[in-house]
Structure 1
Amino acid sequence: MKELTPNMKVVVSAEEIQKRIDELGAEITEHFQGEPVTVVCVLKGGFLFFADLVRSIKLDLELDFVRLASYGKGTESGELVFSKDLETSIKGKNVLIVEDIVDTGHSMDFLLRTLDERNPKRLALAALVDKHERREADVKVDFYGFHLAEGFIIGYGMDFAEKYRELDGIYELVD
């Protein structure tokens, strides 16, 4: 594992993450009641959570990936578009979106609305971290790993300037 720096504080350990993912896998398995599910990973941040989660779901799964990009000026949030879209049709299928973190909800609102227009049977959202206190868009996380209120978090897929995704736990960057 990468050496931790003094400005990194453990928020959720690797053991706590794995235990919660196993619980989520059981919840999702029960929710879809034996029906097949198309599980969609939101790249890049969701990839570690996605890999562990799909192994804990005891259903017939089809896996796919999306990546969103925001095009705006400077640091302003701009229009969201797919930089990588689904490769399979989701019409009439159960779909589970897997994301690393949902905070303001704008990206997930866009993705849920867009995928809903493709007429899935059911559409659900799983996120490792739900920062619902920061929510600006009306987005419900159906399956969440952890509610976290504050702090800039990294690790387990989440990054700061494309670094720290490989950490096995969730850490807060502190001053």
Structure 2
Amino acid sequence: MSRVKVKDLEFELSIPEEKLLAAVEKVAEQMNKDLEGKNPLMVCVLNGSFMFASDLMKRLTIPCEISFVKLSSYSGTGSTGKVKELIGLNENIEGRTVVLLEDIVDTGLTIINTVEQVKQMGPADVKVATMLFKPDACKRDVTLDYVGMDIPNDFIVGYGLDYDGYGRNLKDIYTVVE
């Protein structure tokens, strides 16, 4: 599909599934090298990163575990500027390497808040992997250890990303048509 309608907005294809999976493969290869022997805990930030986390986990060859946290900072097409923790991390991460798996880093607010919360739990190291990064939207100084791809500062849906809860199921990524 070259165009889709999600709720009241039109979107056009911007990143096909094949390109997304190639980016995931690149991230997995780097993680397999960097995290060898570290027994990392992958922490999938829900809801958006579930597709990225699933595809990534299938490509990791290192021993690792996965857990999930649910955070929210969006409403409609824009950030609310506030991060709410909805479901927390239940594992003991003291002394472990933790890798936060994000779908997208744009303003940087969510990931900075999440890293700070995780650091308070005493891990040996906290790393950040994001499928997508919007450098032009980033308002904070963020450290991203693994980035699938940089993208423009456009509103997108698909591959786990949504518009008011809809569009996450699309296998490709679509950009809003202005």
TM norm. shorter chain > 0.5: yes
Partner of 2:164: 161
Residue matched to 2:120: 117
Percent identity, aligned pairs only, is: 27
Q: Normalised by the size of structure 1, how large is the TM-score?
A: 0.90
1:96-147 CA distance string (max 9 Å, x none):
1001110000111100011011111111111111002111122122111110
Q: Give the superposition deviation at 1:33.
A: 2.4
Worse-matched range after superposition: 76-85 or 15-24:
76-85
What letter matches 2:106 in structure 1? D
SS at match of 1:39: strand
* Equivalent residue in structure 1 for 2:154, among 151, 156, 159: 151
Structure 2: state its 5+ residue gaps.
none
Q: 1:164 to 1:3 in 2, by over 3 A?
A: farther
Deviation at 1:58, TM superposition (A): 1.1
- Quote the residue 1:10 is aligned against: 13
Aligned to 2:177: 174
Other structure's SS at 2:28 match: helix
Change (3 A) 1:155 1:79: closer
Once the two structures are superposed, residues 134-161 of structure 1 have per-residue CA deviations (whole angstroms, 9 ceiling, x without a partner) of 1112212211111012211110000011
Aligned residue number for residue 131 of structure 1:
134
Counterpart Cα distance in 2 of 1:79 and 1:171: 26
Number of matched pairs: 172
Determine if the alignment matches structure 1 residue 41 to structure 2 residue 44. Answer: yes
1:89 aligns with 2:88: no
Distance in 1 (alpha carbons) for counterparts of 2:125 and 2:109 = 20
Q: CA deviation at 1:78?
A: 5.5
Question: Is there any run of 5+ residues in structure 1 with no aligned partner, and where?
Answer: none
Q: CA RMSD in A?
A: 2.2
Summarize the Cα distance change of 1:151–1:79 in structure 2 as closer, same or farther, 3 Å threshold: closer
Cα distance in structure 2, aligned partners of 1:98 and 1:19 = 17
Structure 1: distance between partners of 2:154 and 2:170? 17
